[in-house]
Amino acid sequence: MPTRWTIDLAEDPGDPLHTRYDAVHGIACALLEHPHSDHTATTKPFAARVTPTPGGLAAGPRITLTWLTDPPPAVTIPAALPVGPWRVPVVATGQEIIPYPALEAAPVAYRVRFDVTSPAVFHHHGRDYPLPDPHITYTSLARRYLALRGATGTLTPEQARELAKTVTVRDHDIRTRPFTWHGRVSVGFTGTVTFHIPRDTPHPLAAAFTTLSLFAGLAGLGRGTTHGLGAVTVTR
Render 151-210 in DSSP notation, one character per residue.
GGSS--HHHHHHHHHH-EEEEEEEEEEEEEETTEEEEEEEEEEEEE--TTS-HHHHHHHH
pLDDT number for residue 15: 83
Q: Are residues 25 and 109 in the same domain?
A: no
Give the C-alpha distances (Å, rounded to integers) separating 160 from 80, 164, 204: 43, 6, 11
Q: Are residues 108 and 89 in the same domain?
A: no
pLDDT number for residue 39: 66
Cβ atoms of 24 and 47 within 8 Å: the answer is: no
Domain boundary among 97, 121, 139: 97
Interacting residues of 173 by C-beta distance below 8 A, sequence separation 6+: 191, 192
Q: Are residues 121 and 92 in the same domain?
A: no
Q: Are residues 151 and 58 in the same domain?
A: no
Q: 191, 59, 186, 65: which is closest to 118 by C-alpha?
A: 191
Q: 226, 217, 198, 202: which is closest to 103 by C-alpha?
A: 217
What range does the domain containing 68 cover? 3-97
The per-residue pLDDT of the chain, averaged, comes to: 94
- Number of domains within the chain: 2
Q: Are residues 180 and 134 in the same domain?
A: yes
Q: Are residues 26 and 108 in the same domain?
A: no
Interacting residues of 206 by C-beta distance below 8 A, sequence separation 6+: 108, 109, 110, 197
Written as tens digits, the pLDDT of the chain (236 aa) is 899 999 999 999 888 899 999 999 999 999 999 877 776 777 889 999 999 988 776 789 999 999 999 999 999 999 999 998 899 999 999 999 999 999 999 999 999 999 999 999 999 888 899 999 999 999 999 999 999 998 789 999 999 999 999 999 999 999 999 999 999 999 999 999 999 999 999 999 999 999 999 999 999 999 999 999 999 999 98
Q: Are residues 131 and 158 in the same domain?
A: yes
Classify 64 in phi/psi space as left (phi over 0), alpha (psi -120 to 50) or beta: beta
pLDDT per position as a tens digit, 83-126:
988 999 999 999 999 999 999 999 999 999 999 999 999 998 88
Q: Are residues 77 and 115 in the same domain?
A: no
Q: The domain that contains 159 carries what CATH number? A: 3.30.70.1900
Q: Are residues 105 and 222 in the same domain?
A: yes
Domain boundary among 97, 130, 153: 97
Q: Are residues 74 and 131 in the same domain?
A: no
Q: Apex CA 160: angle with CA 229 and CA 114, to 5°? A: 35
Domain boundary among 97, 119, 148: 97
Q: Are residues 107 and 200 in the same domain?
A: yes
Q: Are residues 120 and 185 in the same domain?
A: yes
Q: 230, 236, 27, 7: which is closest to 111 by C-alpha?
A: 236
pLDDT number for residue 217: 98
E-assigned strands of 69-163?
80-83, 86-97, 111-120, 122-124, 127-129
